[in-house]
């Protein structure tokens, strides 16, 4: 992905469509899996991803920033859209987003009924059971290999808070998988 080329194409009205198409092609898979790890169900992920690309399209002309911040900006939109979807999924507005985990776990169990190995399923169940903030940090750090600084830009949390959340997420996953620290 050459973000500098994408940015230069997006800045010219005559090449905006080409730049947007290149942006979508470059980031769709990564954003899909980032959202999917939070929402679990393919159809829900597709709906949220579509909303992400609409928001990106509408906000690109007003976006300030360089090529380096483009990826963080896209992930921030994807995470915000995922959080909004989770908020809508709650049983009532008084429930926390973390209460949706039981629904996600049930959806995940249906999704894997005929697939993959048991260990991968146990890992995914442990990931789904994490508190929402830990889940976001873990996904961005472990799967998307973003730096804590990039995650800070996406979530608005301090680097130290992110490191703490990541540490607790790893420990929780290890506990659920029965992995002992040495």
Residues above pLDDT 70, as percent of the chain = 82
Q: Are 72 and 30 in contact (CB under 8 A)?
A: no
SS3 of 95, please?
coil
Per-residue pLDDT, 117 = 60
Burial of 80 by CB count in 10 Å (0-12 exposed, 13-18 middle, 19+ buried)? middle
Structure tokens at 140: 């961005």
20 within domain boundaries? yes
57 within domain boundaries? yes
Q: Are 41 and 32 in contact (CB under 8 A)?
A: no
90 within domain boundaries? yes
Q: Residue 88: which pLDDT band, with cuts at 50, 70 and 90?
A: confident
pLDDT at residue 113 tops 50: no
83 within domain boundaries? yes
**Across 65-80, average pLDDT:** 90
Task: Please report, for residues 18, 30, 111, 172, the alpha-carbon distance to residue 108 in angstroms, rounded to integers and kept in the order given.
Answer: 37, 20, 5, 19
SS3 of 77, please?
helix
* Tally of domains within the chain: 1
182 within domain boundaries? no
Per-residue pLDDT, 174 = 87
99 within domain boundaries? yes
Residue 160's CB is within 10 A of a number of other CB atoms, namely 10
pLDDT at residue 60 tops 50: yes
CA–CA dist 38, 166 (Å, integer):
15
7 within domain boundaries? yes
More confident residue, 103 or 48: 48
**Across 18-24, average pLDDT:** 94
Structure tokens at 35: 């959202």
Q: Residue 30: which pLDDT band, with cuts at 50, 70 and 90?
A: very high
Range of lowest pLDDT (71-80, 92-101, 119-128, 158-167): 92-101
Q: Residue 52: which pLDDT band, with cuts at 50, 70 and 90?
A: very high
Range of the domain at 140: 3-177
**Across 110-126, average pLDDT:** 65
106 within domain boundaries? yes
């Amino acid at each position: 992905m050459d973000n500098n080329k994408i940015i230069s194409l997006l800045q010219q009205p005559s090449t905006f469509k080409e730049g947007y198409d290149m942006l979508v092609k470059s980031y769709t898979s990564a954003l899909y899996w980032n959202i999917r790890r939070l929402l679990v169900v393919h159809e829900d992920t597709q709906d949220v991803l579509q909303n992400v690309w609409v928001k990106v399209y509408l906000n690109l002309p007003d976006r300030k920033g360089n090529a380096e911040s483009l990826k963080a900006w896209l992930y921030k939109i994807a995470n915000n859209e995922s959080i909004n979807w989770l908020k809508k999924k709650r049983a009532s507005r008084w429930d926390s987003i973390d209460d949706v985990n039981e629904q996600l776990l049930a959806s995940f169990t249906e999704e894997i009924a005929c697939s993959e190995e048991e260990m991968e399923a146990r890992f995914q169940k442990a990931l789904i059971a994490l508190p929402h903030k830990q889940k976001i940090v873990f996904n961005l750090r472990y799967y998307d290999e973003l730096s804590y600084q990039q995650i800070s830009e996406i979530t608005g949390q301090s680097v130290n808070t992110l490191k703490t959340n990541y540490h607790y997420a790893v420990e929780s996953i290890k506990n659920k998988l029965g992995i002992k620290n040495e």
